[in-house]
A = this chain, B = another copy of it.
């Protein structure tokens, strides 16, 4: 997709922010940005709104736009991928494939992925050699062409799929490690774990991946940012099951 005017202005501003240009300080006014970028004020605003949605800047009417330094937002938008977090801590990420084969689609997977046969990969994620996640991924056979055992050990599924992934829905629950899970994760059997089920969609909204993730509770937590919240007796996103 061709870059639009407001996207390239947003990129310019992102770079200038990353360079620490106004460290927690004011940005040029919309009129000035409009003049300096040779774009209308509306287009400049659109770029700024984009950066606001990314948590990079914020504004106050009658005052101006300023760079965000708020640690609260920092944790989520800036949280980034696990790889980025590990890199920040100087730790080494590693993937170990435990199983990798095409199988007939099990019924519980068939309700989500539209394919008779699926590639099923079981993989262990480690940080400095310590396992922190046991992952099972199901992928429709039609999309599994480049997904060799070596490829999925090196790269993420998202990078290997022959299409762009758009969004995902993940369910987060608590449970106890099974004997099998405990063994590969190196924790006592019956330890508490976080369980995540994720459905990944393509731009067409079709489900292209299903994955299950098991995390030792003492090593992991999820962080969710909610730009808007509604009055309720329980946190946003909670669902009662059964």
**CB within 8 Å of B: which A196-241 residues:** 196, 198-201, 205, 207, 211, 213, 215, 217-241
Contact A158 B231 (CB under 8 A): yes
Point out which of A83, A156, A166, A239 has the most chain B C-beta atoms below 10 A from its C-beta.
Answer: A239
Beta-carbon nearest neighbor of A75 in chain B: B169
Contact A133 B234 (CB under 8 A): yes
Which of chain B's residues have a CB closer than 8 A to the CB of A242?
218-219
Contact B213 A193 (CB under 8 A): no
The 6 closest A-B pairs by CB, nearest first: A81-B232, A158-B231, A174-B174, A174-B217, A173-B221, A82-B234
Where chain A touches its partner, the secondary structure class is strand
**CB within 8 Å of B: which A65-93 residues:** 70, 72-73, 75-76, 79-83, 85-86, 93
Contact B240 A82 (CB under 8 A): yes
Q: How far is the CA of A175 from the CA of B224 in the complex (A)?
A: 18
- State the oligomeric state as a number of copies: 2
Q: A192-B175, A224-B169, A242-B218 in contact; A199/B233 too (CB < 8 A)?
A: no
Contact A240 B220 (CB under 8 A): yes
Which of chain B's residues have a CB closer than 8 A to the CB of A155?
231
Q: Does A125 belong to the interface (CB within 8 Å)?
A: yes
**How far does the Cβ of A10 sit from chain B's closest Cβ, in whole Å?**
14
Q: CB within 8 A of A222: which of B83, B158, B172?
A: B172
Q: CB within 8 A of A221: which of B172, B200, B217, B228?
A: B172
Q: How far is the CA of A173 from the CA of B241 in the complex (A)?
A: 18
16 contacts between A and B (CB under 8 A): A72-B169, A76-B169, A79-B239, A81-B231, A83-B232, A158-B230, A166-B229, A168-B229, A169-B226, A172-B221, A174-B194, A200-B229, A219-B240, A219-B241, A222-B224, A222-B235
Contact B156 A125 (CB under 8 A): no
Contact A95 B233 (CB under 8 A): yes
Q: How far is the CA of A163 from the CA of B183 in the complex (A)?
A: 50
Which of chain B's residues have a CB closer than 8 A to the CB of A174?
174-175, 192-194, 215, 217
